[in-house]
Chains A and B, each alone.
Chain A
Amino acid sequence: MRIELLHFASFREAAGRDRESREIADGTRVRELWSSLSREVPLFARFPSPPPAAVNREYVPPETVLRDGDEVAFLPPVAGG
C-alpha cells in the first residue's frame, strides 16, 4: 500500500524533500515507519523514539497502524508564537 509522507522544517531539510509517496507493507505502524526512515536519514537517528506523528493531520500514538492513502508526517519540536 502507499502512503504520502510529508516533511517539515528541520526534518524537511534533513530529508532533502518536502514530500514523498512511499510504498509500505500492510500493517506497518507509525513507529516502524520511523525506524526505516532513521536508517535512510542519519539525522533522524538522533531521535531513538519516534517524534510526535500526525496521520491525516491529527496527532496519533506511535503504535498506530497505517492505512493505504494515509497522509503521514513526523513533526520536529513545534515552536509557534
Chain B
Amino acid sequence: MSGMTPSKREPLSLRERGRGEGGGGAVPFLTDAPLDLPALLSEARSGDGALCLFVGVVRDHNEGRATVAIQYEAYGPMAESEMGRIADALRREFPETRVRMRHRVGRLSVGEPSVAIAAVAPHRAEAFAACRAAIDRVKATVPIWKKEFHPDGSSDWVDPTKHSEVEGRL
C-alpha cells in the first residue's frame, strides 16, 4: 500500500453536518417547498447595479419524449457541502458578486421552477458571468438526480452522459 492513504478526509463525526450555505446565509440550498423567487429578487443592495436571475423550469419534453413530471432526488448533506464549495470558489473568482442558489427536491410538474440562481453585482458583466458559472457547476457536480415521468406512466432516470460511453438507462 504505497502512499495512497487519503490524507485530508475527515471522519463525519468531526465535520459540521451540512454547511447549509446555499451560496450564503443560513438558508439551505435544497428545499422541498416551491422556490421563493421574490426573495432572490430582493437580494440587491444599494451598491448593486445588476441582478441576474436564472430559473430552470420543468419542460414538457426531453429527447423526443413527452414529460409530465420530474422527481428530483439528492444526496442531501453532500449536495449542501458541494454547494458550499461552489459558492466559495465563486466568491474567489467574482469577489464583487454575491450568488444565491436554491434547488427543489421532490416531484415537480411541468412549468415549475426546479433551480434558481441569483447573482448580484455592481455591473451586469460579472452578474451574468457568475450566474452562468454557478448553474453550470451545479449541474456538473452537485449530487442531484432526476427521474422523468412520461404520459404512459413509464419513467427514466436522466443521464446527461449517455451519449458518451455509458449507453442506455441504468
Contact = CB atoms under 8 A, between A and B. Distances in A.
Interface of A: 6, 8-11, 14, 27, 29, 43, 46-47, 54-60, 63-65, 67, 69-71, 73, 75-81
Contacts, number: 109
Interface stretch (B88-96, B121-129, B152-160): B152-160
Given A8-B73, A10-B157, A71-B12, A78 B142 contact: yes
Most chain B CB inside 10 Å of its own CB: which residue of A60, A63, A70, A81: A81
B58 to A, nearest CB: 10
Interface stretch (B3-11, B20-28, B31-39, B42-50): B3-11
Contact of B170 (A46, A69, A70): A46
Interface residues of B, number: 42
A27 B1 CA distance: 8
A40 B9 CA distance: 28
Interface of B: 1, 4-6, 9-13, 15, 56, 72-75, 77-78, 81, 103, 114-115, 135, 138-147, 157-162, 166, 168-170
B10 A56 contact: yes
A77 B159 CA distance: 6
Contacts of A79: 139, 144-146, 157-160
